[in-house]
Amino acid sequence: MKLDSRPILLSGLLAAALGSASCAKSEPAALPTPDHREVPTDAASLRLSFAPIVRKTAPAVVNVYSRRMVRTQVDPFWGMFMGGGIPQERVAQSLGSGSIVRADGVILTNHHVIDGAQEIKVVTADRREWAATVLLYDPRADLAVLKIDTAGERLPALAIDDTTDVQVGDLVLAIGDPFGVGQTVTNGIVSALARSDMSSTSVSSFIQTDAAINPGNSGGPLVDMNGDLIGVNTAILSGSGTSSGVGFAIPAALAKQVVATALGGGHAMVRPWLGVKAQTVTGDMAKSLGLATPEGVVAADVWPDGPAARAGVGRGDVIVSVNGQPVNDPGALNYSVATLAPGASVSLVVRKVSGGERTLEAHLATPPDSPPKDQRTIDGRNPLGGATVINLSPAAATDLGLDPFAGSGVIVTAIAGGYAANLGLQPGDFIRQINGQPITTVAELVSAISAPANGGWIIVIQRGGQTITARVRG
């Protein structure tokens, strides 16, 4: 994690180092309904307590501990005195929080809390420890669903409220285990909605809150005044690594979708695709497009014969709303699609570049998976030995969290040491040429790399906006 003087988004740091899912809103007695929003008007109102909500929700909040073995390379100099430079293994641990969302032990948390874990332990509010298994994890949304074996015991559970009733100014509670001190409750308000430019996930539309969130709170619930889960606390914006009153929670609508997929037997999320590369409308762009104010997103690129193209969306068109909800940046557009299922129909309000506003109906699909991945790990004595490569398609790019419009060709997805590591290859690199031969498929790469030309290889790599040429002797 890079630290500088500017505020930074911290999500991984929030995991501090060291029946069916209920979607209906609960109806607690003597608690205000969501539509009953009033500012306290007298001293008696100010003495009201959150204790009834805490008593209802806190028993369903758990601590999540994960352990994994990591290998670290000893510095070559100190290696002379400490094992001769042989990689050393150590146990890495992380602490986060979670919510029991089904009484038989189904638990919702963040993916970064359990990422790479070889052992996961859950501690319930009554201090009992349980071994947990992963039902599903979704790195794109930074969510994971765990299961503990309760042997038939029914545990306290939180209802998931996936309605769109949340409003800026609503009172909320954040519950978790910050810094490992024990279960802690903080309160605040919803500071903003649809924060989608935080870049910690690729399908994000965060609820922003000023309720204090700190390392260890990751995966814990953000609850409303009905005691329902409306978000999963996942990140903070901070210059110090601790709460500055700007925290972010993944909305319950996305969490509900992940839980439902896990309970339906799915082991990976399959999300729909609209087939549009969107760009935020700036003030200058609004003027050039003839818009009174900057609103909507420009379709900077449209995938040929994709759902948007078939619906009539063209390059330069401005998408104003999806299913009646305004979209003002690419993240909001991605989120509005991500909470739906492949095959679903969506209503798009579009201002055509040719003039006029139209309502179009698009039928969502999964991203195209052509060409097939053809994943291979290159072996042998050649510069790419140890690199795992695939053919890039929109489906593969989506799985990797890359731009589906990044292009086609052969891309490196992993480096397992070897010659590729010595060459400096990185995941995300495109292999464009080998010895002057254009590389468009994995099969072409394997053939071209099998033997050196004139005693060596000339490899052209594209990394971001740079083109790198490497010359390697045979």
Domain boundaries, the chain: 1-35+51-269, 276-363, 376-473
Residue with tokens 């609209």: 274
pLDDT of residue 259 exceeding 70: yes
Choice among 218, 238, 321, 336 that is catalytic: 218
Encode 89-102: b = buried (16+ Cβ within 10 Å), e = exposed. eeeeebbbbbbbbb
CATH topology match: 1-35+51-269 vs 376-473: no
The percent of residues in the chain predicted with pLDDT above 90, rounded, is 46
pLDDT of residue 43 exceeding 90: no
At 408 the pLDDT is: 85
pLDDT tens digits along 275-333:
999 998 888 888 887 778 888 899 999 999 999 999 999 999 999 999 998 888 888 88
Contact 223, 187 (CB under 8 A): no
pLDDT of residue 20 exceeding 80: no
pLDDT of residue 46 exceeding 90: no
pLDDT of residue 21 exceeding 50: no
What's the mean pLDDT when you consider all of the chain? 83
The single-letter code of the amino acid at 346 is V
Choice among 11, 112, 170, 321 that is catalytic: 112
d(CA 12, CA 31): 35
Among the ranges given (17-21, 297-301, 461-465), the one the predictor scored with the smallest mean pLDDT: 17-21
At 24 the pLDDT is: 44
**Mean pLDDT calculated for residue range 179-199:** 82
Q: How confident is the model at residue 38 (pLDDT cuts 50, 70, 90)?
A: low
Pairing of strands 129-138, 143-148: antiparallel
Take residue 330 and report the two structure tokens written for it: 């690419």
pLDDT of residue 391 exceeding 90: yes
At 19 the pLDDT is: 42
| 142 counts as catalytic | yes
- Torsion over CA: 100, 241, 198, 201 (sign): negative
At 92 the pLDDT is: 58
| 218 counts as catalytic | yes
| 115 counts as catalytic | no
At 40 the pLDDT is: 65
Please tell me which of 105-114, 159-168, 335-344, 463-472 the model is most confident about, judged by mean pLDDT: 105-114
- Torsion over CA: 26, 30, 31, 35 (sign): positive
CA atoms within 13 A on the CB side of 302: 20
Encode 463-472: b = buried (16+ Cβ within 10 Å), e = exposed. eeeeeeeeee
Class of domain 376-473: mainly beta
d(CA 267, CA 418): 32
Please tell me which of 229-238, 325-334, 385-394, 455-464 the model is most confident about, judged by mean pLDDT: 385-394
Right CATH for 1-35+51-269 from 1.10.10.10, 2.40.10.120, 2.40.480.10, 3.90.1520.10: 2.40.10.120
Among the ranges given (206-215, 228-237, 284-293, 457-466), the one the predictor scored with the smallest mean pLDDT: 284-293
4: how many CB neighbours lie within 10 A of its CB?
7
- H-only helix segments in 231-306: 252-263, 283-289
- CATH architecture of the domain covering 276-363: Roll (2.30)
Measuring CA to CA, how many Å separate 251 from each of 221, 242, 334?
A: 10, 22, 14
What is the 8-class DSSP label of residue 444?
H
Q: How confident is the model at residue 12 (pLDDT cuts 50, 70, 90)?
A: low
Choice among 138, 142, 161, 429 that is catalytic: 142
pLDDT of residue 377 exceeding 60: yes
451 Cβ contact list (under 8 Å, min separation 6)? none
pLDDT tens digits along 235-256:
877 666 666 778 899 999 999 9
407-412-413-417 Cα dihedral, nearest 10 degrees: -170
444 Cβ contact list (under 8 Å, min separation 6)? 410, 437, 438
Take residue 334 and report the two structure tokens written for it: 């991605």
Please tell me which of 138-142, 257-261, 269-273, 404-408 the model is most confident about, judged by mean pLDDT: 257-261
pLDDT tens digits along 62-105:
999 988 755 555 454 444 444 445 555 555 576 889 999 999 99
Strands (E), 399-455: 409-415, 430-434, 437-438
